[in-house]
Structure formats: C-alpha cells, structure tokens
Structure 1
Amino acid sequence: MSTAKVKLAIIGVGLIGGSLGLCLKDKLGEEIYITGLCRTQASMDKAMKLGAVDFATADVQQVVHDADIVFLSPPVLQIVPMVKKILPYLKKGTILTDAGSTKQYIWEHLRGILPEGIYYIAGHPMAGREKSGVEAACKDLFVGKAYVIVENTGAPQEAQQKLMKLLRYTGANFTTLDIATHDRCASVISHVPHVTAAALVTLLNRTGGDLASCIKLIGGGFKDTTRIASSNADMWADICMTNSDAIVDSLHTLQEILDDVIAACKSQDRQAIYDYFSASKKRRDGILEHAEREFDTN
C-alpha cells in the first residue's frame, strides 16, 4: 500500500464485515483506519475489543464521512436504504462495495441514485459460516475462497484497481461474472442449498409422533446436510426476496428431480435409483476435485 493511510468504513460489523476488518488490521496495522457501523453499544464494544475496527458507532456520518472505501455488509434488503442514508456524507471518489449474495436487485436500485464521483463495485465473497456476529469473525475467513467481483457497474479502472489492491490482502481467489450470471449461479450453488437444508429440518419437525425417535438417530449425515440451516434468518429471507426468479427456477428444477426419484421409488425401478446416485456421485467428485484445485471449498 502507499504511505497514505487507507480509510475503510464497514457497514455491518458481523461475520463478513468483522472478518474483513480483522484481516486488514492484521495485514496493514496502522496503514489502515477502519470505522464500523454497529446497532448496539454491546456490538460496538465487541468489534473494537476484538480489533475488527478502530472505531465503532451507530452514527453513520461519523463512520463514512472521510472513507475512501465503504464496505456494505448488512442483509441485502438493507443495502439500498443504507446507501441512500450515507450518500450525503460521502466525499467525491468514494468507492462503495458490498458482500451481498444477490446483485441484480441492488444494482437496479443503485444505478439511478449514485451521484457523479461515487462508484459502486459489486462484490460477493463466497465465504461464511453458520454462525453470525462479529464474535464469529476470523482474519482468515476469505483465504482460498472464491470472491466474485461483478462486472458492468460503471466504475472506472482506477477505482477497480484501488479496491482490488485492498481486497487482495484477504487471500481470496477473485473471479468476475456479469450480474445475471452471478445471480443464477448463486441460486444453484448457495441459495437453493440453504432453502433445502431448512426444508430437511422442517421435514424432521413434521414427523409427528416419530419426532423423539428420529432425534435419537441423528448423526453426521443429518448434521452435515443441515449445517447451513443454522444461518441467519434475516439474511436468507432478504436473499429469497431479492433473487426470487432465479431461486424459483432452480427450485422448480429440483422439484422435477425429486419427482423423478419419487416415481422410480414407487415403481420399484432400482436401476433408475442406482443411476441417480451413481451419476450424482461421479459429478460431485469431479466438480469438487476441479474446484479444490482453484478454491478452498471447506
């Protein structure tokens, strides 16, 4: 980095925002000054005590007024209202980026309100845990993980370079996608799996009189396949509202797949069931082997 101190504002110092703060303070120390927006005094105290930010407050003006880069990490439906709130306090040249899991919705609402000299570069770090809050943050959260930088939001090359110079300290593997492709792929890779994990827990809850007996059988399979159902409900409700078309399309496809399995089970078509499991195993093993050469998929 240059000798000038970088000023970063983090809106939402939770798992993702807090992890970014911890990483950059670890790598840059006094070369970066990080302010954080938190809702409660307890979360402000925690963020500062852990070292995720240098200063935390609930006052948006204090957080963003001198920021070079603003990192937005609240639930998706809160991002656009938050940008509207902070715009009057931003200096010319400020770069806005985010960790939102959906992109089309955000960009459609931001592109008409950003003033000249304020740039938005959409981002999506494909990193997370089923835990939430700054206490779950860690400085190495992004290392080896895919981090999507979404194209076509009109930021100049200098702004892109300035942001990437900072984000590369995370150790993430960066890739670019256009907005529509990002949202479709995120629905398949991330959004529908979360919906499905929650559905499996809901299925357990609907076992009626067998619930107590089912719980006695819970082991690694149930725990592994439903782990992400413990994720933040606010965040996932917003994702479903802002990427509904892609999610619904993917869920319809999943529904068709399950209908085929139901039909094969009903007709006692063992070969069809065998082929279903065999093809999915082969495909999963091949995909993960390829992905793990490029990214940390854990």
Structure 2
Amino acid sequence: MKPAIKRIAIIGMGLIGGSLGLAIKASQGEKVEVTGIDTNELSMLKAKQCGAADRITADYKTGIMSADMIFVCTPVLQIATLIKEIAPHLKQGAILTDTGSTKTYLIQEIAAALPRGVHYVPGHPMAGREKSGIEAAVGTLFYDKWYILTPTRDGDAAAVEAVRQVINWTGARVTEMNAAEHDWCTALISHVPHIGAAALVNLLTYLQDQENSIKLAGGGFRDTTRIASSNADMWADICMTNAGPIADSLDKFSQIVSQVAAAVRQGDRDSIHKFFSNAKQRRDELLLLEQAANEQPLTNEHL
C-alpha cells in the first residue's frame, strides 16, 4: 500500500529544490505541507516569498523530523555527506530521495548509512536551466520532462510508488532504469555535451581577434554553447562522481573529432561529407523517436 504523503521536506532551495516546491504546491495546495531547508538565509526567504515552501528553516533536524518524504537537492558531492548527517533524525517509514545527476556513486555511499525502516529511492530529473538559484526556479521546470528513478534491488516497492506519485504532481514523465545504465546514458546525452559546450567557449581564448569574433558570433554559436553558462560547482561535482562513463565518452568523442581533423587536413571531402550526412540522418531519427515518446499521454495523477 502506497503511504500517504502529507509533509515533504526539500533540502537545498535552489533551482531544482525551488522548482520542485513550486510545482508541488501548485498541484496540491494545502493538502501537502512543504518545508524548505537551506543554510542560505536569502534563499530561504525567497523560497517562502515565492510560495515554494510553507515553512523554512536552516536546522536540518527540525525540518526533516516529521517529514514523510525528503528530497535532497544539493550539489551531488554534498548529498551523501548530508544524508549521513540527517539519517539518525529521520522518522520510521520516511522516504528519502535525491536529485543528483549520478546514481551509482550515491547508492554506494548512502544505502548502508540509513537506519532500518527508512526507504531510499534515488532519482534524477532531466530538467534544468543555464541559470541557478531560487531566483531561477519555476513551477513548470519538470513538466513533460523525464524524471528517472533508479531503485535499488532491495528497495521498497511502496516507497518507489510514493515517489512516483509526488513526481507525477510536477507533470514530469517518470521512468525507471538501473543506476549503471543511467550513469552511462547521462554521461553521453548530458554530461559530455556540457563539457563540449564549455570547450567551445574556451576555444575562443585561442583567437587572435576575440573582440570581432565574439561580436560576429550568431545564434548557432549561442544556441550550441548555452549550457556552458551552467553552475561550475555542480558540473565539477558531476565529473568527480561519474568519472568512468564521462572519461570513456570523452575519449570516443575525441577520436571522432581527431578523425575529422585528419580528413580536413587531407582534403578528404568524401569522409567529411559522410561525417555530416551520418550525423544528420541519426539526429533526424532521434527527433522522430523523441516525438513518438512525447506523444504518449501523461497520467492525470499530477492534477
């Protein structure tokens, strides 16, 4: 039987935590009490003012002690340490989840630290913005975006369903996969693209006439590098906690770029044409698959 969720605590009232609070309150109103927990006093005040939390506190113990479900929305390297600190104060039956971008590392660190009777359901919303902080939070951030749950083998099925229910309130599309598969997928479709965007921006430092080059940079460059404006601390943490999949994907990416560079030097137009043609065909196929997936109706549980 799915436990009733009446009190939710959100630790970390930034973009993700703030958007989560806004979405839950917009869907459930007074039926669910949201407590926002953050060490940044200004973030807490803004969370209360914008309606992302009913109550605010900097005291983890006070904020979580009566919570039915706790979302930990801090940078990924802080999550495990924080959960180990709060674990003794979680009530029996509480459900703990997180929004970290890497899952294998967190599961290994967290699972053994939780007291008996507390359930952990790892999660990761595939949503974000290039801006950060509570100021960037919006209640529609998760709507129609994928939200991945990576339950452990011995995880409680009712707890997983309870987290799924709460995520449905945000309008997100919930799916499940194992942690290792998640980490490889996100390395390829999220982590490496962020590194690539940052590399393109850093490439500008090699230009002799940076001023004119930046002035002439059009929409294509801005669109391609938009995500390079993301939070540096967050992305440094992601690289540290998903090192293997990211490094291996970067190696493959480097091989592809090196092959193109060699073809350019050799004037091998056929190879270069094939490179672009294959990419266009593959991307068009991916867009069709994405469109088909997005045409699947959302459930009404979030209404």
Q: TM-score, normalised by structure 2?
A: 0.94
Equivalences for residues 108-123 of structure 1 within 5 A: 108-123=108-123
Which residue of 1 is the match for residue 52 of structure 2? 52
Equivalences for residues 218-257 of structure 1 within 5 A: 218-257=217-256
Q: Does 1:140 align with 2:144?
A: no
Q: Does 1:103 align with 2:89?
A: no
How far off is 1:151 after superposition?
3.0
Q: Deviations over 1:246-267 (max 9, x none)?
A: 0000000000000110110011
**SS in structure 2 of the partner of residue 9 of structure 1:** strand
Is contact 1:5–1:30 with CA below 8 Å preserved after alignment?
no
Deviation beyond 6 Å, 4+ runs, structure 1: none
Q: Does 1:267 align with 2:266?
A: yes
Alpha-carbon separation, structure 2, partners of 1:179 and 1:5: 25
How far off is 1:143 after superposition?
1.0
Aligned residue type for 1:281: K
Which residue of 1 is the match for residue 76 of structure 2? 76
Q: Deviations over 1:7-36 (max 9, x none)?
A: 000011111111111011011111000111
Alpha-carbon separation, structure 1, partners of 2:33 and 2:151: 28
Relative to 1, partners in 2 of residues 1:49 and 1:153: Cα closer, same or farther, differing over 3 Å? farther
Which residue of 2 is the match for residue 214 of structure 1? 213
- Cα RMSD of the aligned pairs, angstroms, is 1.5
Identity of aligned residues (%): 48
Alpha-carbon separation, structure 2, partners of 1:172 and 1:284: 24
**SS in structure 2 of the partner of residue 130 of structure 1:** coil
Which residue of 2 is the match for residue 203 of structure 1? 203
Alpha-carbon separation, structure 2, partners of 1:242 and 1:156: 25
Which residue of 2 is the match for residue 32 of structure 1? 32
Instruction: Identify which range, 214-223 or 155-164, moves more after superposition.
Output: 155-164
Is contact 1:72–1:99 with CA below 8 Å preserved after alignment?
yes
Which residue of 2 is the match for residue 43 of structure 1? 43
Which residue of 2 is the match for residue 194 of structure 1? 194
**SS in structure 2 of the partner of residue 111 of structure 1:** helix
Aligned length: 294
Is contact 1:94–1:118 with CA below 8 Å preserved after alignment?
yes
How far off is 1:161 after superposition?
1.8
Is contact 1:34–1:53 with CA below 8 Å preserved after alignment?
yes
Q: Does 1:287 align with 2:286?
A: yes
Which residue of 1 is the match for residue 11 of structure 2? 11
Aligned residue type for 1:54: D
Alpha-carbon separation, structure 2, partners of 1:295 and 1:106: 29
Is contact 2:5–2:68 with CA below 8 Å preserved after alignment?
no
Q: Deviations over 1:124-159 (max 9, x none)?
A: 110011011111111111111111111325221121
Q: Deviations over 1:156-188 (max 9, x none)?
A: 112122222221111111111111100000000
Alpha-carbon separation, structure 1, partners of 2:258 and 2:266: 12
Aligned residue type for 1:125: P
Which residue of 1 is the match for residue 298 of structure 2? none
Alpha-carbon separation, structure 2, partners of 1:110 and 1:291: 33
Task: Show structure 1 runs of 5+ residues with no match.
Answer: none
Alpha-carbon separation, structure 2, partners of 1:129 and 1:43: 17
Which residue of 1 is the match for residue 301 of structure 2? none
Relative to 1, partners in 2 of residues 1:165 and 1:38: Cα closer, same or farther, differing over 3 Å? same
Relative to 1, partners in 2 of residues 1:122 and 1:5: Cα closer, same or farther, differing over 3 Å? closer
Q: Deviations over 1:4-63 (max 9, x none)?
A: 761000011111111111011011111000111122221111000000001112111121
Which residue of 2 is the match for residue 172 of structure 1? 172
